[in-house]
Structure 1
Amino acid sequence: MSERILLKLGGSVVTEKGRAGAIDEGRVLSIAREIGKRPEKEYLLVHGAGSCGHPEAKAYGIAGGVDRSNREGIAITHHAVLALNREIVKRLREAGVDAVGISPLQGCLADNGRIRSYEHRHIAGMVGLGIVPVLHGDVVMDCTRGACIVSGDQLVQYLAKNLAPDRIGLATDVPGILEGDRVIPSIVPGKFDPSSIGSSGHTDVTGGMRGKVEELMDLARTGRTSEIFHVSRLSDFLDGRPHGGTVVKGRD
């Protein structure tokens, strides 16, 4: 049976976060080629928005909720991240990966910033056929706030709970969770305080590394282990080798 991998590509990995709307095309191409080299595996891919979505969401104040006064931000933010998704899917397909982009705005419903419902059986069906679904952080409708941002990290937690991947990895622009200059090799819920993690210096409406760790620790409480590593070690992660990053353990 094929190994099923849930892989999140951080927004800082696939975009140039200091430049609004700038896609890191070289890195996206490199990632696509690594995935294309391993067609025997099943993949679920999620990517962050980075500079293609976060600036727009901030400009329209979407994190604080949406009403008629700022509703235009829904379309503008969605189209920004959709452009990134299309580029990633294009590069994956050029590398021989049968990738299909999926936007959470069409079908994901949140309540007070958290996913309330999201039909996922079609995603499971794609994976079963050898198709690679490529989801992304997105603006979605929200029962309480009108609309909100659902991060790629929150999607990772939701998909991990519902689609049972064998391994979960987050490729980032840092080597793992850092304590000073040292990578923390592993953490477990109840023995690590996410509030000790600094925030990104770039525009990020979803919590940066702290948000990632909080989502993964919630996931760990359900018994699911995940890994955070530098994108340059992607091949090591895909092949199951040590990658020098941090393991968020589902069990101590």
Structure 2
Amino acid sequence: MTEAVILKLGGSVITDKSGECAIDHARLHEIAGQLATRRAPALVLIHGAGSCGHPEARRYHINDGLTDENVPGIYHTHAAVSRLNAAVVDALRDAGVEAIGIHPFDMALAQDGRLASFETRHIAEMTEHGIVPVLHGDVVMDRLKGSCIVSGDQLATWLATALASRRVGLATDVAGVLQNGSVIPRIDRSVAETLDVGGSANTDVTGGMRGKIAELLALADAGIESHIFHVSMIGRFLDGAEHGGTTITGRGIP
């Protein structure tokens, strides 16, 4: 089986997070062009919700659990992220990439906010045939809370483990994890304890950069390094070249 490359596009990269479902179609087509030019042998693409889903999830308090009052929020949140997913898939297909959208709501189950089950064998089979699965952060049913939000970052760690991937990248709107304006080149748990990293300045129910680091440190504990870099460096990441961003690792900094 060909080793999958996991690439996650931050929601702030492809939407204006200060608006409401304001999709950056120009940026999407630019990214799609890069992916069409530098095709990984087996690529799995994930994207965040950005302004398509976070406002709805916040408005309906989806992460607080399901009640009679907020049941409609499941539809509205899922519909918003599905619109963004369709735009991502359309941009990729316009660029010649054989992409198909996959909605976690249809196939995932959570337990207290964490994925408890998520079938991935068909995703592996898709990549073997040159198909690019495109997943996204989504509302899913939760056995304890009724519903919750599963972020694209959580999906990235689940898929990397399930598909035994050793190449995991998160493309963001910043150059990497920043401290005092400078990129931190490598982060392990000892370094993470010293960081003062905030969440997103805009509506984000999944923890912003702090949430990303927490997810990727758990992945590093399983022996899988990951990378956070600026979206302009997607090509360099896919080429295996230096991207100027941050590597999240289970090993100490040499």
In 1, are the aligned partners of 2:179 and 2:195 still within 8 Å (CA)?
no
Say yes or no: does 1:82 pair with 2:82: yes
Percent identity for Structure 1 against Structure 2: 54
| Range that drifts further, 60-69 or 187-196 | 187-196
Q: What do the CA deviations read for 1:114-134 (whole angstroms, capped 9, x no partner)?
A: 000011111111011110000
In 1, are the aligned partners of 2:85 and 2:136 still within 8 Å (CA)?
yes
Tell me the amino acid that sits aligned with residue 126 of structure 2.
M
Distance 2:238 2:2 in 1: 13
In 1, are the aligned partners of 2:3 and 2:164 still within 8 Å (CA)?
no
Distance 2:251 2:3 in 1: 21
* Structure 1 residue 232: Cα displacement: 1.2
Question: Please, what TM-score do these two structures have when normalized by structure 1?
Answer: 0.97
Say yes or no: does 1:25 pair with 2:22: no
* Structure 1 residue 192: Cα displacement: 1.6
Structure 1 segments, 4+ long, off by >6 Å, are none
User: Aligned residue pairs: how many?
Assistant: 252
Distance 1:224 1:107 in 2: 25
**Structure 1 residues 233 and 39 mapped into 2: Cα distance closer, same or farther (>3 Å)?**
closer
In 2, are the aligned partners of 1:189 and 1:220 still within 8 Å (CA)?
no
In 1, are the aligned partners of 2:136 and 2:152 still within 8 Å (CA)?
yes
Distance 2:193 2:62 in 1: 27
* Structure 1 residue 40: Cα displacement: 5.1
Tell me the amino acid that sits aligned with residue 19 of structure 2.
R
| 1:5-44 correspondence to structure 2 within 5 Å | 5-39=5-39, 41-44=41-44
Report what 1:143 is aligned to: 143
Question: Please, what TM-score do these two structures have when normalized by structure 2?
Answer: 0.96
| Range that drifts further, 38-47 or 126-135 | 38-47
Distance 1:235 1:125 in 2: 25
**Structure 1 residues 194 and 63 mapped into 2: Cα distance closer, same or farther (>3 Å)?**
farther
Report what 2:217 is aligned to: 217
Report SS of the residue matched to 2:189. coil
Q: What do the CA deviations read for 1:78-108 (whole angstroms, capped 9, x no partner)?
A: 0000000000000101111100000000010
Distance 1:244 1:56 in 2: 34
In 1, are the aligned partners of 2:236 and 2:242 still within 8 Å (CA)?
yes
Report SS of the residue matched to 1:105. helix
Structure 1: tracts of 5 or more residues without a match: none
Report SS of the residue matched to 2:228. strand
| 1:86-235 correspondence to structure 2 within 5 Å | 86-193=86-193, 196-235=196-235
- For the aligned residue pairs, the C-alpha RMSD in angstroms reads 1.3
* Structure 1 residue 3: Cα displacement: 5.5
Q: What do the CA deviations read for 1:134-155 (whole angstroms, capped 9, x no partner)?
A: 0000000000100000000000
| 1:52-71 correspondence to structure 2 within 5 Å | 52-71=52-71
